[in-house]
Amino acid sequence: MHPNMRVFGLFMVLISIFVLIGWVLGGFFFGDFWWFAIALFLGMAIAINVISYFYSDRIIMWSYKAKIATPREAPRLYKSVQRVNSFYGLPEPRIAIIPSDTPNAFATGRNPSKAIVAVTNGLLKMLNDRELDGVVAHELAHVKNRDILVMTVAATVAGAIAFLARIFWWNMILGRRRADAGTLLLIIVVAITAPLAAMLIRLAISRSREYKADRTGAMTIHRPNDLADALLKLEHANKRKPITRGNPASSSLFIVNPFRGNMLARMFSTHPPMEERVKRLRKLAMETVSL
C-alpha cells in the first residue's frame, strides 16, 4: 500500500472512532442535540490530526529536549547519515542530539524533506561506527516509508481517544444524570472498547513498521549483523537505565522502547520482541552470505 494511502486510512479509522464516541455519548449528555456531540468530536479529531501532521516533529523534539546539531557539533553522526543516505537517495535529513545518557534514537518529520534523525549522547558513546550506521539505516527506512508520520498520528489520536473516554467515564460516574440500563451498558462498552481499539491499531501499525524498517535498513547497507548487534546493546542499556523524560505514548518512535514496563505493559508494547527482531536479522545475514 502506498504510504499516503496508509496515512489516509489511519486518519479515517481513528476519526471514525471519535465520531462513534460522540454518537454514543451525545444522546446521554446532549439529549435531542446528539448531533452536536458528533460534530464536536469530528471537529476535535480533525484538529488533532492536523496538529499532529504539521507539528508532531516540534512536539516530539520539545518533549525530549532534542536540539538540531550542525556537522561541526556532531561530525560522527553527520558522516553516518551522509554515508547511509547515499544508499537511499533521500533529501538530506537534519540531525539532532538528545541530551540523555540512555542510548536510543528516533526519526521525526511529516515527510522526507522535513525529516530529522535524532540520537542520544549515550548512543554515540556506546555504538561503534558500523553499529551507528545500522541504527541510522533503520531510522532512514522509517523516513522513506513515511512511518514516522503514521506512528506519530496514531500515538497522538489514540492517546486523545483514551483521555476523552476517561473524562466521560468519570463524568458519568460522578455526575447526577441517570441513564437507563441499555444506555449505561452502551456507554460502558464504548468507554472500554474505543481506547482499546485505538491502542490495538497503533500497536499493529508500530510492530509491523519496526520489522520492515529493520529489514529495509539492514538490506540497504548490506550489514544485518551490525543492526542486530546495535539492537542488543540498546535493549540491554534501556532496560538497565530507562529514559527519564517524555511521554510513553511516543515510545513507538524510538528504535527500542525507552520506558520500563511491567509484564502487562510489555504485552502491549509498541515494539516487537527483541529476540524475534534479532533472530530475523541474523537469518537475513545468513541468507545474504549464501547468495
Residues catalogued as catalytic: 139
Q: Are 10 and 154 in contact (CB under 8 A)?
A: yes
| Cα–Cα distance measured from residue 225 to residue 34, given in angstroms and rounded to the nearest whole number | 57
Query: How many other CB atoms are there within 10 angstroms of residue 239's CB atom?
Result: 12
- Dist. CA 184–CA 147, nearest whole Å: 38
Burial class (CB in 10 A: 0-12, 13-18, 19+), 275: exposed
- Secondary structure E strands in 99-244: 105-108, 116-120
Q: Are 147 and 206 in contact (CB under 8 A)?
A: no
- Burial profile 82-119: b = 16 or more Cβ within 10 angstroms, e = fewer: eebbeebebeebbbbbbebebbbbbbbbbebebbbbbb
- Which H or E run contains 117? strand 116-120
Distance CA 101, CA 83 (A): 25
Phi, psi (deg, nearest 5) at residue 71: -55, -35
How many Å apart are CA 61 and CA 98, to the nearest integer?
8
